[in-house]
Amino acid sequence: MRVMFVGDSMTIGSAGDFTWRYRMWQHLNRTFGGPYRIVGPRSELYDVSADAAVSHAYRDPDFPERARRHLAGWGEGWCHMVPLIGDAVRRTKADTLLVSLGLIDLGFYTNAEQTAANVHRFVAEARAADAGVRAVLMPVIPNTRALSDAPFAAECERFNELLAKAVADLSTPASPLLLASHPDGYDLDRDTYDGTHPAASGEHLLAAAFADALHQAWDVGAPYVAAGN
């Protein structure tokens, strides 16, 4: 199994974060009985002071370089990943994509229908690189803007409906797609540090949503149990 994390600022993380990618690496090490690799063209964290993804200051310095790989970017969404995913899958031979995107698209770039169209393009590009690639897709999760901006909240809700439909319509036996559940009990005050980006408890909840989907549908690993921090 060759896993690639695809996402926006919540996935890349910023300097000093553990990241949910780290939590997922811990989980796979504990529960997955077969060989696996985490792959991707990037490994950096976002550095707020530099306004660029140039940091390697993960909270756990023992998080190995080989497990830090990803395709995620601060301020990047489905529209940014569409032109990148085919080459990334082809070069890394990723066969399992864990994707958390959509919030930045809806906030700055595209409406719900346009964002859903980019989901379709993303899947097509990934399959053009590997016809058997599989993916778990995360809906847009609770965020602080949706609490005060009713039209934005409506776009998030509409996109999540369209994402669920896309997963159902596009999934095939040869290239299955899963829709991850919303992180169980996700609370903006407790599970984020700014209303959007996950704190340690939020990282565990995001990892759990992906891990449980993998286990329930494809018997990968085991149900998620948080370990440390």
User: 91-135 pLDDT, tens per residue?
Assistant: 999 999 999 999 999 999 999 999 999 999 999 999 999 999 999
Retrieve residue 134's tokens.
């599989």
Q: What pTM was estimated for this model as a whole?
A: 0.97
pLDDT at 58 > cutoff 80: yes
In a domain, 178, yes or no: yes
Task: Quote the domain boundaries for residue 201.
Answer: 2-218
* Beta strand ranges found along the chain (DSSP E): 2-7, 37-38, 45-47, 52-55, 71-72, 96-100, 134-138, 177-179
Assign residue 69 a region: left if phi > 0, alpha if psi is -120 to 50, beta otherwise? beta
Asked if residue 80 belongs to a domain, the reply is: yes
* Residue bearing the bigger pLDDT, 226 or 65: 65
Q: Is residue 9 part of a domain?
A: yes
The pLDDT of residue 228: 67
42 CB neighbour count, 10 Å cutoff: 16
| Number of other residues whose CB lies within 10 A of the CB of residue 79 | 19
Q: Does residue 119 sit within a domain?
A: yes
Structural domains in the chain (count):
1
pLDDT band at 72 (very low <50, low <70, confident <90, very high): very high
The two structure tokens encoding residue 50: 């530099």
pLDDT given for residue 184 in this prediction: 87
Type of residue numbered 220: V
In a domain, 227, yes or no: no
> In this structure, is residue 225 part of a structural domain?
no
Residue 15 token pair: 């300097």
- Beta strand 134-138 with 37-38 is unpaired
In a domain, 224, yes or no: no
Of the candidates 50, 54, 97, 52, the one whose C-alpha atom is nearest the C-alpha of residue 78 is 97
Inside any domain, residue 82: yes
**Average pLDDT rounded to a whole number, residues 152-159:** 98
Percentage of the chain lying above the pLDDT 70 cut: 99
The answer to whether 134 touches 172, Cβ cutoff 8 Å, is no
Across the chain, mean pLDDT equals 97
At 40, the amino acid letter reads G
What SS3 class is residue 99?
strand
CATH number of the domain within which 160 lies: 3.40.50.1110
Cβ 136 vs Cβ 214: under 8 Å: yes
